[in-house]
């Protein structure tokens, strides 16, 4: 089965990438895996404060992914698998791709204006030739109709 790996955060372009991946998976009898990234925790001198900060970041990521998964299921009938990981985004995506052998494509959303984003810049640039799968970069400026038409 084809699995589309989508990296989700709180940006509008992540929603665009998720919509595209869901539509594509529905049309190809595939699956969607949502990867939510939690930024690496900054070192805080007091361990209890750092643990609370990490827990809050995990709760925000889980709420975001739960919301995205619910929308995905409602709109396309696809129930995604969900992974939440903390650390450097590029390292986490690379490690996830290495662990999964059924990924049909890495689906990333590019910002509608300005810098396209860290993951898009990295994987479409320096690391593009080393990926074990194709990368799909979905422009953040596409509306729902355009995404549906293109997927």
Look at phi and psi of residue 3 and say left if phi exceeds 0, alpha if psi is from -120 to 50, else beta: beta
Tell me the Cα Rg of the chain: 15
Rounded Cα distance, 111 and 125, in Å: 16
Domain boundaries 3-150, corresponding CATH code? 3.40.50.620
Residue 140 pLDDT > 60, yes or no?
yes
**How do residues 63-72 score in pLDDT, each as one tens digit?**
666 665 666 6
- Please report, for the chain, the start and end positions of each structural domain, with discontinuous segments joined by +: 3-150
Query: 137 and 124 in contact (C-beta within 8 Å)?
Result: yes
Does 121 have pLDDT greater than 80? yes
């Amino acid at each position: 089965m084809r699995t589309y790996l989508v990296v989700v955060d709180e940006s509008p372009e992540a929603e665009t990438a998720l919509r595209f991946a869901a539509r594509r998976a529905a049309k190809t009898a595939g699956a969607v895996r949502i990867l939510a990234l939690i930024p690496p925790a900054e070192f805080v001198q007091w361990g209890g404060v750092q643990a609370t900060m990490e827990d809050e970041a995990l709760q925000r990521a889980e709420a975001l992914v739960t919301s995205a998964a619910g929308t995905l299921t409602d709109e396309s009938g696809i129930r995604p698998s969900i992974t939440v990981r903390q650390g450097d985004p590029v390292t986490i995506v690379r490690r996830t791709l290495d662990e999964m052998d059924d990924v049909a494509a890495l689906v990333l959303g590019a910002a509608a204006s300005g810098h396209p984003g860290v993951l898009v810049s990295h994987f479409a640039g320096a690391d593009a030739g080393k990926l074990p799968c194709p990368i799909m970069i979905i422009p953040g400026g596409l509306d729902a109709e355009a995404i549906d038409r293109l997927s």
